[in-house]
Amino acid sequence: MIQIDDTLVSLDVIEKEFLCDISQCNGQCCVEGDSGAPLETDEAKKIEEILPIIWNDIPEKSKAIINQQGVSYIDEEGDLVTSIVDKKECVFAYFEKGVCKCTIEKAFREGKTDFYKPISCHLYPIRIDKYDTFEALNYHKWEVCKCARILGAKNKLKIYQFLKEPLIRKYGEDWYNTLCEVAEEWNKQKQP
């Protein structure tokens, strides 16, 4: 682990390669799993605020879930997460030509909102574990993302490089620059 301020970053984040290949996986990370996407409290409120903006893009079966339980719920582990359909698919997911996409991100890209999407989605495959005095950033290795590992290796792109934008969004540019410096030094030491 690498410590930067009040975060601990797994070595996997600077050593492993990753580059999303949505043409191969079809966005399965928004469909597979046993819980919704982790949310921060302010994110659930923000999603409720933009709900009228994204409502027409949300599938009917998802609208029914949102009307019944809201945009989020507390899962079995006690975490606040996005609501899901049929115990798997995020309520904000929609399909376009067989590819799962996000209605929240769609609204952002169309300039309808300044909220990109939940930071846990933006940071994937990094998952953040929160503790009293620090946050731990860990690589979540999932079979669904095998094609992303292959494409990342082909392009020699490390996880932290692939996730530059969301890492800066979450922790700031100074934090990210420090991570890059530490990663470069670490990789130099590992070379024969």
- Side chain identity, residue 28: Q
Mean pLDDT across 69-78: 91
* R_g (Cα) of the chain, nearest Å: 17
User: What's the pLDDT at 87?
Assistant: 81
Residues 6+ apart with CB under 8 A from 35: 75, 76, 77, 79, 81, 84
* Same domain flag for 29 and 13: no
Vertex 26, ends 162 and 82: CA angle to 5°?
A: 80
User: What's the pLDDT at 1?
Assistant: 86
Inside any domain, residue 97: yes
Residues 83-121 as b or e (16 or more Cβ within 10 Å = b): bbbeeebbbbbbeeeeebbbbbbbbbeeeebebbbbbbb
* Same domain flag for 111 and 137: no
**Domain-ending residue, one of 65, 97, 115:** 115
Note the pTM of the prediction, 2 decimals: 0.88
Inside any domain, residue 183: yes
* Same domain flag for 34 and 101: yes
Tally of domains within the chain: 2
Q: Residue 107: is its pLDDT beyond 80?
A: yes
pLDDT, one tens digit per residue, over 179-188 is 999 999 887 7
Inside any domain, residue 44: yes
* Same domain flag for 14 and 32: no
Q: By residue range, what is the domain housing residue 64?
A: 25-115
- Maximal C-alpha separation, the chain: 58
* Residue 133, both tokens: 């005095």
Inside any domain, residue 120: no
Q: Residue 191: is its pLDDT beyond 80?
A: no
* Same domain flag for 105 and 49: yes
